[in-house]
Chain A
Amino acid sequence: MIDRDATFERAELSTGLPRATALEELVSERPESPWRLTGRRFLRHRLAVVSAVFLLALFLVALLAPWIAPYDPNAIDLQLAQFGRPAEPSLAHPMGSDQVGRDLLSRLIYGSRVSLAVGFLATGISIMVGAALGAIAGYLGRWVDMAIMRLADLLLAFPPLLFLMGVLAGFRSPTILIISAAIGVIGWMNVARLVRGEFLTLRTREYAEAARAIGVPTWAIIFRELLPNAMGPIIVAATLSIPAAILTESTLSFLGFGIQPPTASWGNMLQNAFTYLRDYRAWWMGFYPGLMIALTVLAFNFVGDGLRDALDPRSRID
């Protein structure tokens, strides 16, 4: 039996209307849309919400960098860094300076642009390539599937970091776009496999059959009819690939193959810090950029986790 009173109670509580009207409201209410349901589930994930707020703030900082940064990130101040000695944190320079007196807080603020841009661009590229190729391979099957999956095998045989170092060494000063494209090219295979797997079952569904029967063009079946149904796993893969791309970019820049100085990125700030950490005990040069990478990646991971739970509550293994 349905517990009528409890239903009344809930109706009253959730709408704040008198009982009878409230019940009517509840009954007549249309079923909640999947996206709103997802949003509600996400909001329940406290860490994910905090992380989302943090990332939003970081976005604003990156966007408004020229107005927020206290100094020009590339302005050299030899008065501040006497004899090439990095200046310790002070009131005027809360995160200290590097060996030529550049303000590290300002460089950190500008560096956020690189990390966020690469994170999103690289993910965008790898997800689009991976989803498209995976969908085509899974739907068409046969030799197309064969060719795409063999291409994936070929790229999977490369050690990714070495591949990226080799590609980027070909550019005197790789831009954000070049770095993102390289990361995307070596990173689409897992998404392709995922989407291909989804499509192997999706193509046998009745609505795919129906679409074929009424003569919908193949590309429209793949991308308009079926792809939206694979969106859940794609979104989860995307949110988890952003932090991975950010880590990869910072590693590349740290090794000297990514963003080149004087442009500030968190990775090349750490590369620059390496020597001074050792010889001048300039801990502030190495501490803050790494902390920012860690916090940003952590936040993206939490958001990704929250989204995964929200989009597919069954996938909650942990």
Chain B
Amino acid sequence: MTAYIVRRLLWMIPLLVGVSIITFAMLKRIPGDPVTVMLLESRSSGRVITEADRERLRKQYGLDKPAYLQYFDWLGEVLRGNLGTSIRMKQPVTEVIKQRLPNTMKLAGVSLVITLAIALPLGILSAVRQYSWLDYVLTAFNFVGISIPQFWLALMLLYLFAVEIQLLPVRGMRSPYVEPGFWNHLVDTVTHYILPVTSVTLASLAGYMRYQRAAMLEVIRQDYIRTARAKGLPEHVVILKHAWRNALIPIITLLGYVLVILVEGSIVVEAIFSWPGMGLLAVDSLQQRDYPVVMAIVMLSAVLIMIGTLLSDILYAIVDPRVRYD
């Protein structure tokens, strides 16, 4: 097992190099470099820019060198632990990510807890009462759930609760001005969370519920469940203790992918609610050609994805002793 994990970890190195080369090449072929975007912005603020300024800036950011040299420059810095400087925010990329990542984790974390708290019991119930009206209703809900685009759901929630009945805030994590006092701050924070969290939760609910239901159905057909019933155990013990423990295996392995969902799943919701997290940062940086930030986000995501996959494979072996890796 240890050898397996070490091998997987070592294999990540060439993969990460591959990801960085592909991403770098991809960003290089996007028309318009960061300096041009910067100059366009300062031009609109009335400053006069000469061609000399442009050349100077290009030199400053190393954009005048051939692409492969730029890549090696970048790689050298990254290996020394320096992710570069955001061209747009004039801050080290590490600082920018340090500010943004916790916000995404808060949104994703709260949503995940609520999602699991709803999806797992309903998934079990749906499996235990297979073909009951409840099962049909939940199955129908799941079909609708996986079909509705997340961004449309978020837009409609925003329209209903923040525009039509102005109950909840439209954007951000907190209001620009809040009356002092703990209670006021708490209310302000909670109200800002409701819509983004609801959007993420509703969008992921169906997937988990389906998964839990399928796992549970698989388990309750097993012989040891029949044995448990036959020896006269009460039904709730059979279901919750004997069956559910085994039906949790697939769910636990799914948790490895939470890291992945954390990166990807929040892009749209963050963009709609102007939630200052990684997803919004990715979209903005790409549009502004802030390449050091984009590179950092893609690399970070790739690391999270690979660790997440490895983690779920390991978890799988831990919770299910029948699984062996060599």
Residues of A participating in the B interface, judged by any CB pair closer than 8 Å: 153-154, 156-163, 165-167, 169-170, 172, 243, 247, 250-251, 254-257, 270, 273-274, 277-278, 281, 283, 286-287, 289-290, 293-295, 297-298, 301-302, 305, 317-318
Given known A154-B18, A159-B264, A283-B159, contact A294–B302 (CB-CB < 8 A)? no
Question: Which of chain B's residues 117-166 have a Cβ closer than 8 Å to chain A?
Answer: 139, 143-144, 146-152, 155-156, 158-159, 162-164
Whether B155 and A158, one on each chain, are in contact in the complex, defined by CB atoms closer than 8 angstroms, is no
A286 touches B218 (CB 8 A): no
Tell me whether B283 and A294 are in contact (CB under 8 A). no
Identify the closest chain B residue to A294 (Cβ). B148
Closest to A157 in B: B302
**Which residue from A166, A257, A301, A302 sits with its C-beta under 8 Å from B26?**
A166
B114 within 8 A of A: no
User: For chains A and B in complex, what number of residue pairs have CB atoms within 8 angstroms?
Assistant: 134
Q: Are B156 and A255 in contact (CB under 8 A)?
A: no
Q: Are B143 and A159 in contact, CB atoms less than 8 angstroms apart?
A: no
Query: Bound state CA distance, A286 and B153, in angstroms?
Result: 10
Contact for A318 among B15, B217, B287, B305, CB less than 8 A: B217
- Given A154-B15, A160-B264, A278-B170: A294 touches B163 (CB 8 Å cut-off): no
In the assembled complex, the Cα of A206 lies from the Cα of B245 at a distance in Å of 42
Q: Which of B30, B271, B298 contacts A159 (CB 8 A)?
A: B298
Within 8 A of A (CB), among B193-252: 210, 213-214, 217-218
Closest to A280 in B: B163
Task: Write out, one digit per residue, whether chain B residues 1-41 have a CB within 8 A of any chain A CB (1) or not (0).
Answer: 00000000001000110110011001101110000000000
CB-based contact B264/A161 at 8 Å: yes
18 contacts between A and B (CB under 8 A): A156-B305, A156-B309, A158-B298, A159-B264, A159-B305, A163-B26, A166-B286, A169-B287, A170-B26, A254-B149, A255-B267, A270-B155, A277-B155, A281-B159, A283-B159, A289-B152, A302-B143, A318-B213
Interface flag for B173 (CB, 8 Å): no
CB distance from A272 to the nearest CB of B (A): 12
A154 to B14, CA, bound (A): 9
How near does chain B come to A44, taking the closest CB pair, in angstroms?
16
Whether B263 contacts A301 by the Cβ 8 Å rule is: no
List A contacts of B18 (CB < 8 A). Answer: 154, 157
Q: With a CB–CB cut-off of 8 A, which chain B residues contact A255?
A: 267-268, 271, 283
Contact of A290 among B152, B272, B282, B297 (CB under 8 A): B152
8 Å CB contact of A286 from B144, B159, B170, B267: B159
Given known pairs A318-B213, A318-B217, the reply for A162 and B152 (CB within 8 Å) is no
Q: Which residue of A lies closest to B152 (CB)?
A: A290
Question: 5 closest A-B pairs (Cβ-Cβ)?
Answer: A290-B152, A298-B147, A159-B301, A297-B147, A157-B302
Among residues of A, the one whose C-beta sits closest to the C-beta of B218 is A317
Residue on A nearest B160 in the bound complex, by CB: A283
From A160, A251, A294, B147 is in contact (CB under 8 Å) with A294
- B274 CB to closest chain A CB, in angstroms? 11
In whole angstroms, what is the CA distance A156 to B260 when docked? 11
A159 to B18, CA, bound (A): 14
Q: Which residues of B contact A161 (CB under 8 A)?
A: 264, 267
User: Which residues does chain A contribute within 8 Å of B158, judged by CB atoms?
Assistant: 277-278
Q: Cβ of B306 < 8 Å from any Cβ of A?
A: yes
CB of B2, distance to nearest CB on chain A (Å)? 21
Q: What residues on B are CB-neighbors of A159 within 8 Å? A: 260, 263-264, 298, 301-302, 305
Confirm or deny: B294 has a beta carbon within 8 angstroms of a beta carbon on chain A.
Answer: yes
New A-B contacts (10) at CB < 8 Å, excluding given A278-B159, A290-B148: A157-B302, A158-B22, A162-B267, A165-B282, A170-B31, A243-B147, A251-B150, A286-B155, A290-B156, A294-B144
